[in-house]
């Protein structure tokens, strides 16, 4: 059954009264989610949406996101999920690039979505915006007749066009097939041992592939509940864990850091959590150890990208684990470490991580040149530098573009950041390179300080910065330690909580 929406049909048939989606006091059962998605399919037909048409969803993690998502899929159309923080001109770019003619927009972003739709449709076919508000939209959905059945598709038909963050140039649409997403959803279920009746934390945005595959789609496949948090806040997240008895927590490193630093963490009942998963960016080893000590649960680090649906490799409970490793490739996925000429490097040496298997996207949406550059020979080039140790475990060294070249030496920021996280005053850290006349690039550490260690005045601030430099100097080679430390209240982050080095100004 290639159409991903068939998972919802099967679970709703098996367990119609089980809770699929929860947002505080609002609960949506699988039976209701199935009917609501059928009604959305009717609305799509009324709007002239046909098989293969692109439909944009601009929503945070709210119940409407789930049933509109599955309504689009069951109609045979293509979901284009967009970040609700986008501005009008950014919305216009994504709509124009994807060719979407219909937008479902949350009321909180309606003005920007409408502005983007007006701009995108200004020189061609008009773009229709459907306001997903709390009353009128639900009345419209309730009044619609359900359209039963699911449009059957080929497994290679496109299910989702997911735009990359655009760290270099304009965002590109990773084109993911129903097979890409179905296989990765099954892998997510198997890796975490997700079963019917479990409760998954839904703080990862569904417009991002991590939350979409590993929370929403995995829960729909298994009959588990996703309890939503539309905007991450550590105290609220801790409260949801205790209130809803969350069994699987999925997050990015900054979420774990924020919860561990929150004053309520020691007083919160965290005993329901049996496993936690981290992805999106490198998990500091110190954070991993602290989480497992405080929560009493395994924290497993995995690796993936939008272009890989996302899971490429993962650590497994009961298997060999080494702090800092992203584990081993999942079933049906192969990896290689390649040199700049595309030749595999010897075991233990650093190369660019390349991936082949069912997880790899079809390509970038209507961008054959970018697709050829990324997948020149069937192996997707991730842009991440990694090595494989003697036990077959993979270690990400750094982003290829983030490597600092200082005085002829390669400096991998993650290695230095790991050391900085060991300092008791450091809450978060980003190591970057800045132009330098003598060395080509110089190393700068931008540090977010824990609340209890915030310096009282400029003199104390200067002293703490010097202390952190000395701390790193004692622990890494002379060419690696940061020559300058910049103390800030918080580092800039993207919608998933990933630190955005490109936005750091020093």
Q: In this predicted model, what pLDDT tens digit does every residue of 277-290 receive, in sequence order?
A: 998 778 889 999 99
Q: Which two tokens stand for residue 448?
A: 């977010």
Q: Please state, rounded to an integer, the average pLDDT across all residues of the chain.
A: 94
Q: Which two tokens stand for residue 397?
A: 């060294």
Contact 400, 408 (CB under 8 A): no
The pLDDT assigned to 253 comes to: 87
- Residue 162's beta-bridge partner residues? 174
Quickly count: other Cβ atoms within 10 Å of residue 71's Cβ.
28
Contact 159, 150 (CB under 8 A): no
The span from the CA of 330 to the CA of 308, in Å, is: 12
Residues 6+ apart with CB under 8 A from 141: 36, 39, 40, 43
403-503 adopts what CATH topology?
GMP Synthetase; Chain A, domain 3 (3.30.300)
Residues 6+ apart with CB under 8 A from 25: none
The pLDDT assigned to 318 comes to: 86
Q: For the residues 387-399, what does the mean pLDDT come to?
A: 94
The span from the CA of 31 to the CA of 287, in Å, is: 40
Quote the pTM value: 0.86
* Beta strands across the sheet bearing 380-388: 333-338, 351-357, 380-388, 394-399
- Residue 176's beta-bridge partner residues? 160
Ranking 84-98, 108-122, 251-265, 398-412 by mean pLDDT, the lowest is 398-412
The pLDDT assigned to 323 comes to: 87
In the chain, domain spans: 6-17+29-177, 232-399, 403-503
Q: What is the pLDDT of residues 52-80, one digit of tens each?
A: 999 999 999 999 999 999 999 999 999 99
CA of residue 358 relative to chain centroid, distance: 19
Contact 497, 252 (CB under 8 A): yes
Q: What is the pLDDT of residues 343-354, one digit of tens each?
A: 999 999 999 999
Burial class of residue 109 (count of CB atoms within 10 Å of its CB; 0-12, 13-18, 19+): buried
Which residue blocks in 84-173 are alpha helix, DSSP H? 88-98, 110-120, 136-143
Q: What is the pLDDT of residues 221-262, one digit of tens each?
A: 999 999 999 999 999 999 999 999 999 999 988 899 899 999
Q: Do domains 232-399 and 403-503 have the same CATH topology?
A: no
The span from the CA of 206 to the CA of 215, in Å, is: 8
Quickly count: other Cβ atoms within 10 Å of residue 504's Cβ.
15
Q: Is residue 339 helix, strand or coil?
A: coil
Residue 167 has pLDDT above 50, yes or no: no
232-399 adopts what CATH topology?
Rossmann fold (3.40.50)
Contact 383, 400 (CB under 8 A): yes
Class of the CATH domain delimited by 6-17+29-177? alpha beta
């Amino acid at each position: 059954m290639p159409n991903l929406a068939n998972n919802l049909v099967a679970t709703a048939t098996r367990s119609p009264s089980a809770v699929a989606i929860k947002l505080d006091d609002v609960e949506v059962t699988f039976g209701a989610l199935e009917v609501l998605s059928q009604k959305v399919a009717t609305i799509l037909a009324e709007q002239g949406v046909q098989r293969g048409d692109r439909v944009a969803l601009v929503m945070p993690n709210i119940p409407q996101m789930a049933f509109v998502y599955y309504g689009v899929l069951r109609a045979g159309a293509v979901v284009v999920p967009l970040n609700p923080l986008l501005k009008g001109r950014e919305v216009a770019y994504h709509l124009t690039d994807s060719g979407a003619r219909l937008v479902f927009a949350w009321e909180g972003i309606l003005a920007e979505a409408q502005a983007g739709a007006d701009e995108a449709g200004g020189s061609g076919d008009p773009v229709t915006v459907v306001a997903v508000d709390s009353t009128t939209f639900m009345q419209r959905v309730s009044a619609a007749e359900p359209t039963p059945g699911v449009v059957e598709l080929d497994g290679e038909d496109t299910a989702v066009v997911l735009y990359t963050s655009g760290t270099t140039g304009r965002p590109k649409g990773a084109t993911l097939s129903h097979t890409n997403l179905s296989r990765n959803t099954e892998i997510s279920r198997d890796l975490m041992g997700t079963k019917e009746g479990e409760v998954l934390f839904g703080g990862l945005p569904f417009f991002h592939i991590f939350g979409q595959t590993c929370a929403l789609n995995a829960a729909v496949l298994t009959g588990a509940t996703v309890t939503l948090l539309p905007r991450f806040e550590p105290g609220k997240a801790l409260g949801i864990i205790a209130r809803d008895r969350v069994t699987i927590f999925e997050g990015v490193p900054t979420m774990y850091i924020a919860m561990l630093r929150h004053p309520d963490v020691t007083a919160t009942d965290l005993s329901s959590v049996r496993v936690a998963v981290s992805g999106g960016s490198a998990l500091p080893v110190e954070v991993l150890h602290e989480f497992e000590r405080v929560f009493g649960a395994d924290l497993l680090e995995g690796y993936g990208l939008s272009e890989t649906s996302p899971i490429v490799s993962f650590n497994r409970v009961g298997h060999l684990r080494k702090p800092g490793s992203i584990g081993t490739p999942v079933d049906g996925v192969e990896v290689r470490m390649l040199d700049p000429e595309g030749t595999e490097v010897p075991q233990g040496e650093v190369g660019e991580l390349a991936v082949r298997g069912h997880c790899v996207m079809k390509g970038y949406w209507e961008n054959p040149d970018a697709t050829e550059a990324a997948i020149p020979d069937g192996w997707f080039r991730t842009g991440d530098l990694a090595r494989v140790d003697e036990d077959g475990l993979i270690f990400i060294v750094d982003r290829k573009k983030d490597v600092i070249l200082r005085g002829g030496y390669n400096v991998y920021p993650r290695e230095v950041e790991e050391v900085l996280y060991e300092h008791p005053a450091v809450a978060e850290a980003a190591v970057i390179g800045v132009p330098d006349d003598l060395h080509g690039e110089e190393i700068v550490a931008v540090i977010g300080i824990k609340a209890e260690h915030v310096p009282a005045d400029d003199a104390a601030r200067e002293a703490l910065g010097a202390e952190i430099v000395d701390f790193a100097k004692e622990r890494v080679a002379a060419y690696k330690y940061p020559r300058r430390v910049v103390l800030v209240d918080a580092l800039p982050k993207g919608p998933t909580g990933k630190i955005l080095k490109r936005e750091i100004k020093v």
